[in-house]
């Protein structure tokens, strides 16, 4: 396991390159929003169903890893059992698992806030389900569930490590990009959440 001891603040150049401390990754994050529910676009898929996500922490983490490993998702894995249980039982979180023929193939999570806003906190399919129209079906469901409540806007953010078509997919889904940020965080493989080989074809581990 990597022992990160970098400084808390990194002087970041506003133009040009900034070296990252060992064990860290940098994300270019794009924030997008949609303020009105766009019309549904997917074809009818009787083979797909959305069900409430399990509260079994290990089953949840297993699905999260199946979907997120390739994209180095870490957020939920970094939570302790108590914190993850609290998150999943938060009444403001709508977490749905996508089933095809009884198999879990996707995850969609909406976090509703008290100020009338909501965030599409997680949205993804297992790798073998990507690219066949299922993402569009899941997005229709996410938008319908989000705007079934009186929200002023639905936000999402996606980053460098997500699917390369994610921003374009969200734009085609009616979202408008409104902000970018750089996020510096631990490499989840060096932090012990995934094996070193995970996602190495796109992002090999750099050990410094």
C-alpha 176/C-alpha 25 separation (Å) is 26
* Residue 61 to residue 67: CA distance in whole angstroms: 10
Instruction: Name which of 132 and 208 has its Cβ closer to ligand COA.
Output: 132
Determine the residue with CB nearest ligand COA: 135
Strands (E), 74-195: 93-100, 103-112, 117-125, 153-159, 176-186
C-beta of 145: minimal distance to ligand COA in Å? 15
Shortest reach from residue 5's CB to ligand COA, in Å: 30
Min dist. Cβ of residue 179 to ligand COA (A): 15
Q: Between residues 10 and 79, which has the closer beta carbon with respect to ligand COA?
A: 79
Q: Are 130 and 67 in contact (CB under 8 A)?
A: no
Q: Toward ligand COA, which CB reaches closer, 125 or 154?
A: 125
Q: Which residue has the tokens 């040009």?
A: 16
Instruction: Give the separation between CA 197 and CA 190, rounded to whole angstroms.
Output: 11
Q: Which residues bind ligand COA (CB under 6 A)?
A: 41, 43, 71, 123-125, 130-136, 158, 162-163, 166, 169, 172
């Amino acid at each position: 396991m990597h022992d990160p001891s970098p400084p808390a603040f990194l002087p970041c150049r506003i133009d040009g390159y900034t070296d990252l401390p060992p064990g860290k990754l940098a994300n270019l994050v794009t924030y997008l929003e949609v303020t009105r529910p766009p019309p549904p676009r997917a074809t009818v898929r009787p083979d797909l169903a959305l069900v409430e996500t399990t509260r079994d922490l290990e089953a949840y983490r297993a699905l999260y890893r199946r979907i997120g490993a390739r994209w180095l998702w870490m957020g939920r894995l970094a939570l302790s059992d108590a914190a993850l249980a609290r998150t999943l039982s938060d009444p403001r979180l709508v977490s749905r698992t996508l089933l095809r023929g009884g198999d879990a193939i996707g995850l969609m999570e909406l976090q509703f806030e008290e100020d009338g806003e909501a965030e599409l906190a997680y949205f993804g399919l297992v790798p073998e389900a990507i690219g066949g129209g299922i993402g569009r079906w899941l997005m229709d469901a996410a938008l319908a569930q989000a705007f079934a409540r009186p929200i002023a806007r639905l936000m999402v953010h996606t980053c460098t490590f997500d699917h390369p078509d994610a921003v374009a997919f969200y734009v085609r889904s009616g979202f408008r990009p409104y902000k970018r940020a750089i996020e510096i965080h631990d490499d989840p493989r060096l932090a012990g959440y995934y094996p070193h080989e995970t996602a190495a074809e796109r992002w090999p581990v750099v050990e410094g």
